[in-house]
Amino acid sequence: MRLDKFLREQNLGTRSQLKKDIQAGLVSVNGITALSPQQQIAEETDQVSYKGQLCVYEKYIYYLLHKPAGVVSAVRDAHDKTVMDLLGDVRKNDLFPVGRLDKDTEGLLLITNDGKLSHELLSPTKHVEKEYECCLADVFDERQKVLLEQGVDIGDKKPTAPAHVRRLTERKIALTITEGRFHQVKRMLHAVGNEVTYLKRIRMGPLILDETLPRGSWRRLTKEEVECLQYDRSSHL
């Protein structure tokens, strides 16, 4: 990998600024001052220091995003703002959102470049839980709860898998599903005679939405969160 590309992927500055810093002697490789941005390095084994600080290469990156309404869960879109646009100037040439939230749905979205983890979280055979906070148009009653927990017909070839429901208020529930069908939560509530007026994903597998993150904001996953995801993945293998 080129030295300037390596530093850029560590989010240390723009490529033009990093080139100037390299040429100014502010970067070393294995203890030797580097003067060429084009210098090739072995990113996993070479020791690169920038302004005296060691840069540790990370093969996989994990961001937790609090998705707001009005943006689409895509890498790029010709018409709408995407969740990737919210990341600003961070490394994103190989990043992607894990799964999709509807344009008007808010909440937890994992963004990473770990394709294997994404597959494990999204695979229908893994039954990874997704929990949503749902505000409803009408009072939620016991009949609707029973139907959702049995599985309901939403017009597909087969009914949904049984869900888990927690009542939060008379018009708000937390709904946990293990599938990822198109508009599934909205269709499930419609099938039992109610309508979703607001939808937010609050959990995906062991990963929980950080409620201190404002809508549209993001942060790196903590070491503990990454380890929890990795453990949860191995438990499903």
Helix axes 115-122, 223-236, angle to 10 degrees: 60
Q: Are 188 and 144 in contact (CB under 8 A)?
A: no
Sign of the alpha-carbon torsion through 115, 117, 119, 121: negative
Cα-trace Rg, the chain: 22
Matching residue, tokens 């950080």: 210
Q: Please choose, from the candidates 66, 98, 175, 171, the residue with its C-alpha nearest in 3D space to the C-alpha of residue 130.
A: 175
Catalytic: which of 77, 102, 104, 232?
A: 102
Q: Which of 65, 56, 50, 53 lies closest to 20, judged by CA?
A: 50
Specify whether 94 is catalytic.
Answer: no
Residue 148 dihedral angles phi and psi, to the nearest 5°: -65, -35
**Which residues lie closer than 8 Å to 6 by C-beta, 6 or more apart?**
41, 43, 48, 55, 57
Catalytic residue numbers, as ranges: 102
